[in-house]
């Protein structure tokens, strides 16, 4: 399991390093198999692509989804792993 967490964190960091925070959150949602949050993030990503920027409303929505995702991830990961994940954002 440790190598899976390490790989997830590495993959997420690749996304956040290129300013793709939604993509990083999608990886986390996929890792914990949270389909409703994955759909919300896919919507945010498609609207971001369509508009060419992340407007304030989408940014606020992503922040809400991110917090819900972190709450769900807390049930699956250790405190240390979740702290590392959160530090990417």
Is-contact 27 12, C-beta < 8 A?
yes
Domain that holds residue 68: 2-87
Start-to-end CA span in the chain (Å) = 23
Statement: residue 56 has pLDDT above 70: yes
Statement: residue 50 has pLDDT above 90: yes
Q: Which residues contact 28 (CB under 8 A, 6 or more apart)?
A: 8, 12, 69, 73, 85
Statement: residue 54 has pLDDT above 80: yes
Overall number of domains in the chain: 1
In this prediction, residue 15 has a pLDDT band, given cuts at 50, 70 and 90, of very high
């Amino acid at each position: 399991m440790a190598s899976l967490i390490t790989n997830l964190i590495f993959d997420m960091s690749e996304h956040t390093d290129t300013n793709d925070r939604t993509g990083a959150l999608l990886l986390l949602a996929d890792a914990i198999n949270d389909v409703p949050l994955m759909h919300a993030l896919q919507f945010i990503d498609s609207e971001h692509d369509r508009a060419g920027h992340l407007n304030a409303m989408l940014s606020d929505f992503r922040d809400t989804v991110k917090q819900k995702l972190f709450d769900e991830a807390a049930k699956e990961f250790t405190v240390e792993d979740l702290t590392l994940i959160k530090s990417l954002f």
